[in-house]
Every structure is written in structure tokens, then in C-alpha cells.
Chains A and B, each alone.
Chain A
Amino acid sequence: MKQEIHLKVNGVDHHDEVEPRLLLVHYLRDVLNLTGTHVGCDTSQCGACTVMLDGQAVKSCTVLAVQASGGEVKTVEGLATNGTLHPVQEGFWEKHGLQCGFCTPGMMVAAVQLLERNPDPTEAEIRHALEGNLCRCTGYQNIVSAVQYAAEQMKAAKAAPAPVTQ
């Protein structure tokens, strides 16, 4: 018995009928064709599927699409604004925070959540905050650097005077 769901994903409204057992990650990937969010495991260990649901980083392999109904989802495809990369995306590019890139979307979403909660994390805090996201390529060092880079950028942007409007 299919159920109707409605979600806002990356600012766009979607209405669909889905099976109750459909996972949010499969809804995003297979129904909405937002394939940037990946599936890396089946036990909620790896975090490749991490997305924002109502402002909270969640593992979308552990959320049913019907549970997310009525909510707002942000995926990797929604991190950039008007073509400008999010500072976390910039950081991953700038600091070589990715190799194969498969864990990266989820890792970046987790990093965005971290910086929202803690704009000035220590290295230990970054490593702790990212423990729910596995990477097999980078050894995490450049991911840490990428998050530190993003934190600096975001601090600088906050400190900068607001643009003068005429």
C-alpha cells in the first residue's frame, strides 16, 4: 500500500507515492535522481548517506521516506548557493579532503553540522564529530584540514562587515 509523502528537498517541493518501507536514501537517489548521496553500508556505520533533515544530520539509510514526510532535506546537491560552493566544499577541494569521493557527500554534510554547532572546533573535536563517517582513502588528515579551512572561512565571513546597501 503506497503512501503519499511530501518533502522539500534542496528547496524544491516534492509529492510522491512511495512504499512505506522505502528508505529516504533510495527515495533521494532513485525517485528524485539525486545520486550525490551514496550508500556505503547497511548498518549505519559509514555515513556516506548523511543528509540534513530539518537541520539535523541524519543517515538517510536509517530513515524511511515516509518518516521524513513533511520535512526539509538538504543533500550534497544543495550545499552550494547560487553556484558558490559552501566553505566546507571549498575546504575539501582546497585541502585534498577527498580521493575516490564516495564518502565525501556524507562527510561534508556531517562537517557542515559540526560547524553549525561548533564554529571553532579543535582537531580532536573534528575527529570525534566525524566518527560516524568512514573514509577508506584519506586517512582523515586532509578531511580534518578541510574542516579547519572551512571554519576559518566561515569565521572570516562572519567577521567581515556586512555589504553596504544603497
Chain B
Amino acid sequence: MAVSKIFGSSVKRREDPRLITGKGYYTDDMNLPGQTYMAVLRSPYGHARIRSINTEKAKQLGGVVAVYTGQDLADGGIGPLPQAWPLELGMVNGEKMTIPEWRVLAIDTVRFTGDGVAVVIAEDPYTAKDALDLIEVDYEPLPAVTNQAKAMEPGAPQLHANVPNNLAFHWRLANGDVDAAFASADRVVKAHFINQRLIPNPMETHAAVASWNAGAEEMTFWNTSQNPHVTRLLGTLVTGIPEHKLRVIARDVGGGFGCKISLYPGDVLAMWTSKKLGRPVKWTEERRENYVATAHGRDHIQDVEYAVKNDGTVLGIRVKAIANMGAYLNTGPAPGVPTWLFAPMLAGCYKLIALQSDTYAVYTNTTPTDAYRGAGRPEATYIIERGMDIIARELGMDPVEIRRKNFIQQEDFPYTSIGTFTYDSGNYEGSLAKALSMADYESFRREQAEARKHGRYLGLGLSTYVEVCGLGPSAGANAIGFTGGLWESCVVRMHPTGSVTVYTGSSPHGQGEETTFAQIVSKELGVPLEQVDIIHGDTSSVPFGMGTYGSRGLAVGGAALVMAARKVREKARKIAAHQLEAALDDVVWEDGIFHVQGSPDKKKAIQEIAFAAYMAGNLPEGVTPMLEESHFYDPPNFVFPFGAHICIVEVDPDTGVTKLLRYIAVDDCGPVVNPMIVDGQVHGGLAQGIGQALFEHGIYDEDGQLLAGSMMDYAVPKAGDLIHFDLARTETPSPHQPLGMKGVGETGTIASTPTVVNAVVDALSPFGIAHIDLPLTAENVWRAIQNARKP
């Protein structure tokens, strides 16, 4: 393939040959001489006081190297886990957030099933697990609370002495004259939504291998991270191992979806025990352990009011969201998820004039929640996109028409939404029109009417979404309390023979950046793909990077790459001009060749320039040897991908089973580097969003037992649960991203949940059913139908 055609093409992934032959580099694949194995004893209670722990029998078991408790860690100088996002702006009454102490192992109280109590290091993994059974813990069970609304009530069990009423924080975003908007409304439409708890379920559970070298006083730490540098920084803060002596490696990561942003207690335990014992320590979560020990997602109870005119104009929205934070604030962006990543997107792609959103974040005796694919934006999009359907139904309007009536128009961009973010670009009518045409909307409505006559319940659901991603400008992130930059780094190194190694701070875990980043290099430097290698996920070779989450891989990491590559090209151009004895302005770049304007024969390939830069004896004045440049890219704004999704379903009224008949996704993420990979991202996002709509539920009982505590009990969608998705795209570039690209990793998840629910509710409208809460399992749908049939 000509170099000029590589960008924008569905080239096959360069990471695949190793992954399809069993030669990947996942953390658990790593084995070191003298390696030991770690297992964590976890609380079986949702809430209990630890009266005593006796580890003697466990220590005496043959093959056990060591057993430690929370007190041992505290005595060893290990403090509580840090929190990355202490909110300030938006805290109601200017209150400060209280961050409760989360110990790596609990000392006196456990607050969720899965809270760590003791750790065993043994010569083999089976022995480590045997030893867990020999640890005697005397628990005094305490009353537990798992539902966040109940946790706020007076008299509820209290989790943290310094957090009255379990209220982690009360946060508000308000913009526009909310009272006036509601006063001038013809009606106020109300809704109550449950956005249920989800369990991320990357196929690879959390894993770590820690190896301390006492002679060099340095730690090498392999783990499943979406952001190895952030893991290193947090690891340093907790363990005291200096950053320059802590190398974190995350080469192949088996999925993340947000839950591998955080530093987990187990990570700290592996590092600390390896250092203490002077031996490598491996920790691989079992799946059931992953279900309780790795962060969950979503879990909102939402009360919503929409201020509406009878002509369908939506003026304002008022939201009260009670977010379940779990027992502690997870170390990732947890406090930002139900606040800044949620409320600003509540107006969606519509011209609302007033918005108020109150978030009550509450501690309960459950696994902490944090970012999960979409992280706040699905919870917001669900409110506005379910809301549009509910309002349309109340007004007797078509769900398409009400959206059109309220759309931000193409000429309005950049548009500062009432949610306070400035949307970069959009063409909402464009994607909607395309989706409607693919669905043949008018004829579907006729078919639906005909089917109803025969007792068949077909439904069509729609969602026109916009989301914010490409996280994000650092100044903005700092202003809203995030204690980290959200830039990205890249080093582009052209070797003397013209091949290229790229070091990116992005940390892909399935997104295919080894391929797409090479495609970008190919475009920017005119070198063939096989001459490019992308290095990521190793803090010893890659400059500090913020990692991959929030659909920022290409939007931010790709931008850093483009800028670094362009610096390389510009330097090469200077050298080329010097060697061609031409004025810099006369040197033209085309497909990897510099030539003098008007004299195509006077030319130098960039590979020749690379060698000249290495020889370095004939460089223009002031130009340093070698072709290597770095760039730290801090985006001027977020990016705002958007689109229109349509789902057609048939619901069996006798069983409540929803059958997906069609799913159409029209997405706009700007120009596309590799259409095959973008389609794949959308497919996966849809699967997770449909999973939330129809199947998944991280449900607890009142005592704090996770009832959906294994893959037998939690419904990760299977191949037969899903259908072939019809995808299309429109292309509206971002004006500020160097290649116009927007993120696409989360769009499918964000858009699809309300789309599917809208379809099911549409199908059941003859029963008078106006809403069914997530997830729309056969049982929940069947019950809704039974209730509707009651006289």
C-alpha cells in the first residue's frame, strides 16, 4: 500500500500476530526466578468490626513465606490510599470533601465484602489460598446499608465516623435562571430513574508482579494498568519508593473500561511484600475476587424534572442524583464521575436555557465505584435521552420531532451549552437524518401499527447523543479539582536508517494504537508501516504519560504524536534545505521526499536526511544531530463526538423477553484513522450499553453480600444475546484537534442504553407502560406488563 494511502485505511492490526498465536505479554504471563504468590483474605461481611486476627496456623503451613495484617502494614509505614480528585468547585456551601481513610488492609473495621484483611505470600498459588483458610478472624458483624438513598436516611448504619449521614459530598452545577425556566414552562415533566450498578468485567482480572532488587534499591512492577505513570506516581505516594526507582510496565492489558485506572490495595500489597521479602511477588485476582475488589460503575438514583413548553421546547432540567460511591472513594477519578463527568452533559445536544444538578454522593457497604466506560456521561445521557421520549409521549409528539425542535444547529458551533462546556463542532441533524433513512423510519411505523393488530409488540427507540471526551485541558481539569494533568506525551525517534520508534504516554489495552499510531507516523513522516514501532506502557522508556481512558487515546495521545512527528519533519526539512542548497521556503514535502520547488529532481528522502542527521557533519547552523523530538500536548478543549442511534425490538408479552431486531449506529468522531478499528470500538461500546439496558446488574442484598458475585450470576452479554449492528458515520472534524479527530471509545456505551430502553418502552406503549427501570430483563419487563394489565 502506498504510504499516502495508509492513513484512513482499515490496515490489519500490528498487535494481532502475537495475540493470536499465544505470545502476548499479559501480566500473569510474567514469571520470575524465585517468584512467590500472593493471596488476599477478604471480608465476608458487608460491615463488621475486627475483634482479632490470628495468623499463626497460616504461618505454620508448609510453603507459606509470610502472612501480614493491616497492623503490619501500618507499622511498616504504609498509609491510606490517596485520592486523585478532591472536589472543591461546586461543593455546596463551600464545604470541603472529607476523604475517609482507606487502608490497604483494614485494621479494625471492614466496610464491604471484599475489603482486605490479611495477605499471604507463599511458594505456590495453591498454598497461598490454603493458608487463607487457616487465618482466624473474629468479626463482630455490624448493621450494613447498601442502597444509597437508605444510607442517607436518619438512623442508617454509619460507615465513617467523620462522615455524618454517609454523605461523601453534596455537589451542584447550576446555570441559567432555573426558577424562571420552570415558571415559564407550560408543564413540568417528572421522571425517576435507576441507573444500576455495573461490574466492568475486563476479561483479564487485575494482576501484578512486583520485583524488588535490594542491591539496586529499585522496584519493577508489571501490572494491568490503563496508565502506568499514574500507577507509579500513586505507588510512590503510598509505598515511599521514589519515582525514579519504581518502574511500572503494562504491555498487554486484557481490557480496562475504566476499572484499571486506579491503584488498588492489592497493587500496594504486592509492592510492599516484595520489598519486605526481597522476592518477586505475583498477584492475580480470581474472578470472584475481581467482582468484589475491583471498582464497579454507575449506581445512581435520579429524580428529574424537565421544564417544557407545549410546542416541545425543553427549557430547563433539574436533577437530583444520589450516587453510590461504595465504602470508600476509589483511588481513580471516582468523585469526578457523578459530578463533572455527569452534570455538564445533562443538556445533551439541545438548546436548554437552564440547568441545575445536585449530586449527593453517598457511602454504602459496597465495593467502591469509579469510572466505567462512559463514566458519568452514560448516566447523564440516559436522563436527557429517556427524557426526550417521555416528554414527547406526554405531548403526543414524535420522538424525532421533539429532538429536532431542540437541537443545537450546525451554525451554532462552537456552542457553549447550558452545561457550561463549549461543544467544538457538531451536525446533529446530519447523523439523525442518516439513521432515520437507514431505519426507514416511516415504513417502520406502518409495520409497527400492523404488527400490533396481530398482537406483536415492535418498538423503535432513538437516541441523539453528544458526549465529552478527549480528556482534556489540564487547566480546566485542575480548576475542577483534579490533581493531575490531562495532557499526553510522545517521543518520535527516527533512526539513522530511517525506521521510527515512537514512545507514547498513551497506554492502549485493546484500542489498537500500535496500529493507528503507526498509521499517523506514516502520514506525517512518509515512512511505511513496517518501519514504525509504537512503544507504550513502560515508565522506564516512555516519558510521563497520562494514559488511556476517557476516549483520549487518539484525540490527545494521537495529537501529541502528530505534533512530535511534525517537529521531526520540520527539522528534517531544515537539513534537507541545507543539503539541497535551497531556501527553506522552497523545500516541498511530499510522501516522504523533500524536493526543491520547481525542480523535482533535486530531492532527498527523509531516510537520507535521517542518516545525514546521524553523520551530523553537514548540518545547518544551529541544528543539533539526530532526528528525535518530543511533544507534550495539552488540548485546548475537550472534543464532543455525537451521533444518532436507532434500535428496533420485539417484546414477547408472555415472557417479557426483548429480541433485538436491528441496531443502527451513526456516529461522528471526525476523520477516522482506521475505519475497521473505529467500527470495533463502536461494536464493543454497544455491547456494554446494551448489556446495561437488558442484562447486567451488580446487585447486593441488604447485608452487603454481592448477589451478582460471579460470572454465573452477572450477565455479561454472550454472542447469542447480541446481533449484527449496522454502522455508519458522518464526519465533522474538531476544529482544535490537529487532525480533527474525536474519541470513539465510549460513544457506543453512552448512546445505546437509552436507545434500547426507548425501543422497549415504545413497544409496550399499548399497555400504557411509560417506563421500566434498568435493567430490562425478561423478568422486569414481564412484571411491568403484569402490573399494567392489572385492572
Contact = CB atoms under 8 A, between A and B. Distances in A.
20 contacts: A38-B203, A40-B254, A41-B710, A42-B288, A43-B710, A46-B287, A80-B21, A93-B13, A96-B679, A98-B16, A100-B252, A100-B509, A130-B718, A131-B720, A136-B684, A137-B680, A139-B725, A140-B687, A142-B680, A142-B683
Contacts of B687: 136, 138-140
Contact of B24 (A26, A36, A99): A36
A136 B202 CA distance: 6
Interface in A17-55: 19, 21-22, 26, 29-30, 33-43, 45-46, 48
A142 B677 CA distance: 10
A76 B22 contact: yes
Interface of B: 10, 12-13, 15-17, 19-24, 26, 28-29, 31, 125-126, 201-205, 252-255, 257, 284, 286-288, 509-512, 676-677, 679-680, 683-688, 710-712, 716-720, 722, 724-725, 748
B344 to A, nearest CB: 28
Contact of B16 (A19, A45, A92): A92
A94 B680 CA distance: 13
The CB with the most chain A CB atoms within 10 A, among B24, B126, B203, is that of B203
B710 A75 contact: no
Given A131-B720, A138-B680, A40 B204 contact: yes
A70 interface: no
B287 A126 contact: no
A93 B20 contact: yes
Nearest to B18: A101
A39 to B, nearest CB: 7
A104 interface: yes
B21 A76 contact: yes
Contacts of A116: none
B400 to A, nearest CB: 26
A104 B684 contact: no
B21 A40 contact: no
Contact of A93 (B16, B125, B725): B16
B33 to A, nearest CB: 13
B12 A105 contact: no
A144 interface: yes
Contacts of A45: 710-712, 716
A141 interface: yes
Interface pairs A-B: 9 shortest CB-CB: A36-B22, A102-B254, A101-B19, A100-B510, A139-B687, A139-B683, A99-B510, A45-B711, A76-B22
B255 A136 contact: yes
Given A102-B254, A130-B719, A144-B719, A46 B711 contact: yes
Given A93-B20, A104-B19, A134-B718, A41 B204 contact: no
B680 A93 contact: no
A55 B203 CA distance: 25
B720 A77 contact: no
Contacts of B24: 35-36, 101-102
B688 A131 contact: no
A144 B209 CA distance: 35
The CB with the most chain B CB atoms within 10 A, among A19, A98, A102, is that of A102
Contact of A134 (B17, B688, B710, B711): B711
Given A93-B16, A96-B676, A141 B724 contact: yes
A93 B515 CA distance: 13
Given A33-B31, A36-B21, A135-B719, 11 more contacts: A26-B125, A36-B23, A40-B204, A43-B712, A48-B203, A79-B21, A98-B13, A101-B15, A103-B203, A135-B203, A138-B683
Contacts of B718: 127, 130-131, 134, 140
Contact of B722 (A37, A137, A140): A140
Given A93-B16, A100-B253, A131 B21 contact: no
Contacts of A143: 719
B511 A99 contact: yes
A100 B21 contact: no
The CB with the most chain B CB atoms within 10 A, among A34, A36, A100, A134, is that of A100
A108 interface: yes
A96 B710 contact: no
A157 interface: no
A64 B676 CA distance: 40
A123 interface: yes
